[in-house]
Amino acid sequence: MTRYIMVADLRRCVGCQTCTSSCKETNATPPGVQWRRVLDIEAGEYPLVRRVFVPTGCQHCDDPPCMEVCPSTATGQRKDGIVTIDYDLCIGCSYCALACPYEARYKVDDVEYVYGAAATATEVARRDQQKIGIVTKCTFCVDRIDAGTKAGKVPGVDPEATPACVNSCISGALRFGDIDNPDSAVSKLVAENKWFRMHEDEGTGPGFYYLWDKGAL
């Protein structure tokens, strides 16, 4: 079996938002929509303060609450763990967005351009990728994964088969791959480091592992 997951090494992440920007361009998301983003979270009180940069987005949960609530079956889950949205089925009710504990889902009701009134040449070129009135979220760049694997590439190893955010990550914080493959980089990272998953108590089984220290759990 294959189960794709994302590893975010919080020791490495510097909050540069390169992944955010790369995601936005790769997926042509409209202003304000960030399938991948990095949070800037502060903890503690002066002078004992910590600031942590937390890449987030759709966690591609084992048991996705979004899928459960979706009335149209637009939200689905592949055998490799990727949670998908069928844009032709989605009615844009946003129920899934409210069911997601990770605030990963977006809906844009009106066409909006980066510079306001008119579309740039890029926006014109990618007009067919506009998703107005339906819910969108991180796809783990599923089209890249599918095209890449079809061409014999390995997600998480070959850039052609790897999500854009991971390819772009300058600190090496974001890694992607198949956790069911014990030889994959992500399997080793998860095995050899301490990690947590966000809102573990929700029982959603998120596919996003946050590394925070060396050594097995």
Partner 1 sequence: MKQMNTSRRQRSWDLRAAANFIGGGTGTGLLMASVVAAAFGPTTPVTMAAGAVFVMLGLSMVWLEIGKPWRALHVFFHPQTSWMTREGIIAGPLVAAVGAWVVLGLSAALPLVFVLAAGFLFCQARMLRASRGIPAWKQAEVVPFLIATGVAEGTGMMAVLGGSSPALVGFALAAGLAREAAWWAYGRGLARSHAPKASMDVLMKSAPAMACRAAQVAALVLWLATLSGVTDVALLAGLLAAVSGWGIKALLITRAAFTRGPAIAMCPVRGRGIGLPIEA
Partner 2 sequence: MSGHTGAAKKSVPTYCYNCVSGPDLMRVTVEDGVATTVEPNHDAAGIHPADGRPCVKAYGLVQKTYNPHRVLTPMKRTNPNKGQNEDPGFVPISWDEAMDQIGAKLRDIRARGVLDDAGLPRVAATFGMGGTPASYMGTMPAFLAAWGAIDYSMGSGQGVKCTHSEHLYGELWHRAFTVSADTVNTRYIVSFGANVEISGGVCAVRRHADARIRGIKRVYVEPHLSVTGACSSEWVPIKPKTDPAFMLAMINTILHEAPRDALDIPFLRDRTASPYLVGPDGYYLRDVDGGKPLVWDEAGGRAVPHDTAGVVPALEGTFTVALAECHGPDGEVFRHEGVAGRTAFSVMADEMKDYTPEWAADICDVPAATMRRVALEYLENACVGETIEVNGRTLPFRPVAVTLGKTVNNGWGAYECCWARTVLAVLVGALEVPGGTLGTTVRINRPHDNRLKSVKPGPDGFMDTTFNPTDRGNWSERPTGRNAHRTLVPIVGNGPWSQALGPTHLAWMFMNEAPADWPKPTLPEIWFAYRTNPAISFWEIARLSETMAKMPFIVAFAYTMDETNHMADILLPEATDLESTQLIRIGGNKFVEQHWDHIGVALRQPVVEPLGESRDFTWIATELARQAGLLETYNQRINSGAALVPLKGEGYDFSLPTDRVNEIDAVWDAVCKAATAMLAGPAEAKGLDWFKDNGFFVVPHKRVDWYLYPTMVDQGLRFELPYQERLFKVGKELGRRLHEKGIHWWDNQLGEYCPIPEWHDVPGRWTQSIIDAGANPDDYPLWGITTKSMQYAAGNNIGIPLMDEVGRNMRGHGAVVINTSTARALGISDNDWVEVASPFGSTRGQAAVMQGCRPDTVVIPGQFSHWKTPFAKDLNYPTLNKLTPLSNATLALTDATGSGSDVVRVSLRRIEAPSAETLAVGGAA
Under 8 Å between Cβ of 147 and 160: yes
| Partner whose binding site includes residue 217, from partner 1, partner 2, none (CB under 5 to 8 Å by kind) | none
Rg of the Cα atoms in the chain? 17
- Max Cα–Cα distance, the chain, nearest Å: 53
Q: Using CA atoms in the order 186, 190, 196, 198, what is the torsion angle rounded to 10 degrees? A: 20
CA distance 154 to 131: 29
CA distance 157 to 150: 14
Among 72, 77, 149, 181, binds partner 1 (CB under 8 A): 72
Looking at 19-27, 76-84, 92-100, 103-111, which segment touches partner 2 (CB under 8 A)? 19-27
Q: Which residues bind partner 1 (CB under 8 A)?
A: 9-11, 39, 41-45, 48, 50, 52, 54, 56, 65, 67-74, 89-95, 97-103, 107, 109, 132-135, 194, 196, 198-200, 202, 204, 210-214
Q: Which residues bind partner 2 (CB under 8 A)?
A: 9, 11-12, 14-18, 20-22, 24-26, 28, 31-32, 34, 37-40, 42, 44-47, 49-53, 114-115, 118, 120-122, 124-126, 159, 164, 167-173, 214
